């Protein structure tokens, strides 16, 4: 009997290149690798990954799509091609999970939430001709992921994605992690993660967790066991991840993090003043005060780990002056690198609810306008600054943060603070990658020309 084909698709934003602009900053479609691993052995599976290659039609019996909000329109566009031919389409991922009613108009089936508990049933129902419109999963306390089918990923990825925890109790106003992954830290068994790490071919690993050490005793203990396990098993990788500022609190944990390969950590700083931190509902940063940032960065750097600080522009309380002040803060706060974002109301966030209620969405021709919701342009009507002007102020701040002179001066400090190979990695990140993303990747159609999906 002919094997059935499951085609899995990772769509790319057709409007703007963003993080896609550099090969090194593209993220593997980990969820598709997990779906492939959960699919029974009788299926032939192929991944089309627009991070590397534009979609071209490929025969399939069943099509699965994942999407962020900004890539959802492209997912719908591709789904339409298959639906026209009578091929069933299934969509999961954060966007479909946050707005399932919208997604159900464009695909046959929506998987809302985590796929692991329901994917076996989806395939069984497809095979018996009983597919439902919606499969919804509950959060399980312990996460078990099969090893993703990394053999199906494009070989061009420099960094491998691995997940160790899910969920976050902090509920920041602009973030949909708590809605998507739950308000509690949930953990994968450490040995399961180590088994997976041993099979990762890349030297560089991105632990895609939203907070690798969390803020509870249990979550820190999980991180400690993970770092110790990496050292014990002799797994030689360099890794980066994301955390809150309490990453700096425990010197022993930082030593273990470095020894296990940590060379960079992303910290959600978001802003340097109380007004903006209140808007962000960034409780931990507020409780410690922006004055603590420099000490936080130094404590981490002295263990050889570089700090990437996340900064957001476009708060309601922002003015031209506060935006300029944030750029000045960036130049002297002591972080090694920055991810600069424009405040964006994504579905599933408190910010989205508020912006919709106040009728302040600048673009609402959905789903097409979702392409703009990628953190690179203002999508909220600001109370005091017209959008074009706001964009100009933000652009000016970003250019200052990423000017070659400021990058070099920052990097010399990184070399001094970390006295490790971290400085080379940070220089590459700042000069060749982030500078390109945050200056050039902001522009519409800078790399990708929008073309309708090719169905021939
Ligand atoms: S921004 Fe970070 S700390 Fe805040 S809710 Fe999201 S994951 Fe949690």
Specify the ligand 1 atom closest to the Cα of 168.
Answer: 8
Q: Cα separation of 167 and 308, whole Å?
A: 21
Q: Scanning the structure block, which residue is given the tokens 């989806």?
A: 122
Q: Which two tokens stand for residue 221?
A: 């203990």
Query: What is the Cα 17 distance to its own chain's centre?
Result: 15
Pocket mutation for ligand 1, best pick of 244, 270, 271, 352 (most atoms within 8 Å of C-beta): 244
Classify 324 as helix, strand or coil.
helix
Hey, what's the torsion of the CAs at 95, 100, 106, 109, to 10 degrees? 110
Q: Cα separation of 193 and 83, whole Å?
A: 37
Ligand 1: residue whose CA is nearest its atom 4? 172
Q: What are phi and psi for residue 131, nearest 5 degrees?
A: -60, 135
| 52-61 pLDDT, tens digit each | 999 999 999 9
Domains and CATH numbers, the chain: 5-136 (3.40.50), 158-343+380-440 (3.80.30.20)
Q: Provide the pLDDT for residue 30.
A: 97
Confidence class for position 444, pLDDT limits 50, 70, 90: low
Specify the ligand 1 atom closest to the Cα of 282.
Answer: 4
Q: Are strands 62-66 and 88-92 parallel, antiparallel or unpaired?
A: parallel
Of residues 7, 113, 98, the one with CA closest to residue 61: 7
- Predicted TM-score (pTM) above 0.85: yes
| 345-380 pLDDT, tens digit each | 999 999 999 999 999 999 999 999 999 999 999 999
| 211-266 pLDDT, tens digit each | 999 989 999 999 999 999 999 999 999 999 999 999 999 999 999 999 999 999 99
Pocket mutation for ligand 1, best pick of 98, 170, 311 (most atoms within 8 Å of C-beta): 170
Ligand 1: residue whose CA is nearest its atom 3? 170
| 153-171 pLDDT, tens digit each | 999 999 999 999 999 988 8
Pocket mutation for ligand 1, best pick of 211, 311, 312, 341 (most atoms within 8 Å of C-beta): 211
Neighbours of 388 (CB within 10 A): 8
Rounded to the nearest whole angstrom, what is the distance from the C-alpha of residue 323 to the centroid of ligand 1? 22
Rounded to the nearest whole angstrom, what is the distance from the C-alpha of residue 174 to the centroid of ligand 1? 8
Q: Provide the pLDDT for residue 78.
A: 98
Rounded to the nearest whole angstrom, what is the distance from the C-alpha of residue 280 to the centroid of ligand 1? 10
Q: What are phi and psi for residue 259, nearest 5 degrees?
A: -65, -30
Residue 62's beta-bridge partner residues? 6, 88
Rounded to the nearest whole angstrom, what is the distance from the C-alpha of residue 350 to the centroid of ligand 1? 12
Query: What is the Cα 132 distance to its own chain's centre?
Result: 29
Q: Is 111's pLDDT higher than 60?
A: yes
Specify the ligand 1 atom closest to the Cα of 178.
Answer: 5
Q: Which two tokens stand for residue 271?
A: 């802003």
Q: Provide the pLDDT for residue 455.
A: 41
Confidence class for position 452, pLDDT limits 50, 70, 90: very low
Q: Cα separation of 364 and 351, whole Å?
A: 15
| Ligand 1 pocket, Cβ-based, cut-off 6 angstroms | 168, 170-172, 175, 177-178, 210-211, 244, 268
Specify the ligand 1 atom closest to the Cα of 176.
Answer: 6
Q: Cα separation of 39 and 348, whole Å?
A: 29
Rounded to the nearest whole angstrom, what is the distance from the C-alpha of residue 170 to the centroid of ligand 1? 6
Pocket mutation for ligand 1, best pick of 166, 169, 175, 281 (most atoms within 8 Å of C-beta): 175
Helix (H) or strand (E) holding 90: strand 88-92
Q: Provide the pLDDT for residue 420.
A: 79
Q: Is 26's pLDDT higher than 90?
A: no
Question: Burial level of 288, CB count in 10 A (0-12/13-18/19+)?
Answer: middle
Ligand 1: residue whose CA is nearest its atom 2? 210
Ligand 1: residue whose CA is nearest its atom 6? 175
Percentage of the chain lying above the pLDDT 90 cut: 80
Q: Is 109's pLDDT higher than 70?
A: yes
DSSP strand E in 228-329: where?
238-243, 262-270, 306-313
């Amino acid at each position: 009997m002919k094997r059935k084909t499951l085609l899995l698709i990772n769509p790319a934003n057709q409007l703007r290149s963003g993080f896609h602009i550099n090969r090194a900053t593209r993220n593997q479609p980990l969820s598709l690798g997990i779906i492939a691993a959960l699919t029974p052995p009788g299926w032939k599976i192929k991944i089309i990954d627009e991070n590397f290659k534009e979609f071209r039609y490929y025969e399939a019996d069943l099509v699965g799509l994942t999407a962020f909000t900004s890539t959802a329109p492209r997912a719908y566009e591709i789904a339409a091609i298959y639906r026209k031919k009578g091929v069933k389409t299934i969509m999961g991922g954060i966007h479909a999970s946050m707005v399932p009613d919208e997604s159900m108009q464009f695909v046959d089936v929506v998987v809302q939430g985590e796929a692991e508990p329901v994917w076996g049933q989806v395939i069984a129902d497809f095979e018996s001709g009983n597919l439902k419109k919606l499969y919804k999963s509950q959060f399980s306390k312990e996460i078990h992921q099969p090893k993703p089918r990394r053999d199906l990923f494009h070989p061009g990825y420099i960094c491998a994605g691995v997940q160790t925890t899910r969920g976050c109790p902090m509920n920041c106003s602009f973030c949909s992690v708590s809605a998507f992954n739950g308000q509690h830290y949930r953990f994968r068994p450490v040995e399961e993660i180590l088994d997976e790490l041993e099979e990762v071919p890349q030297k560089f690993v991105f632990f895609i967790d939203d907070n690798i050490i969390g803020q509870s005793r249990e979550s820190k203990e999980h991180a400690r066991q993970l770092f110790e396990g990496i050292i014990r098993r002799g797994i030689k990788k360099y890794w980066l991840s994301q955390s809150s500022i309490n990453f700096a609190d425990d010197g022993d944990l930082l030593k273990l993090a470095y020894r296990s390969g940590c060379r960079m950590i992303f910290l959600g700083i978001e802003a340097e003043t109380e007004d903006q931190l209140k808007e962000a509902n960034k409780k931990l940063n507020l409780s410690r005060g922006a004055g603590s940032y420099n000490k936080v960065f130094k404590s981490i750097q002295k263990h050889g780990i570089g700090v990437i600080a996340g900064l957001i522009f476009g708060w309601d309380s922002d003015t031209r002056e506060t935006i300029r002040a944030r750029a000045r803060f960036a130049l002297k706060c002591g972080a090694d690198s920055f991810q600069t974002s424009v405040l964006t109301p994504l579905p599933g966030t408190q910010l989205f609810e508020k912006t919709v209620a106040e009728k302040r969405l600048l673009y609402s021709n959905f789903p097409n306008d979702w392409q703009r919701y990628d953190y690179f342009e203002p999508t909220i009507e600001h109370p005091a600054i017209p959008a074009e002007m706001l964009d100009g102020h933000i652009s000016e701040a970003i250019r200052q943060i990423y000017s070659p002179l400021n990058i070099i001066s920052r990097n010399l400090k990184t070399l001094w603070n970390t006295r490790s190979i971290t400085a080379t990695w940070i220089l590459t990140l700042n000069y060749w990658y982030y500078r390109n993303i945050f200056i050039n990747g902001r522009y519409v159609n800078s790399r990708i020309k929008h073309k309708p999906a090719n169905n021939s």
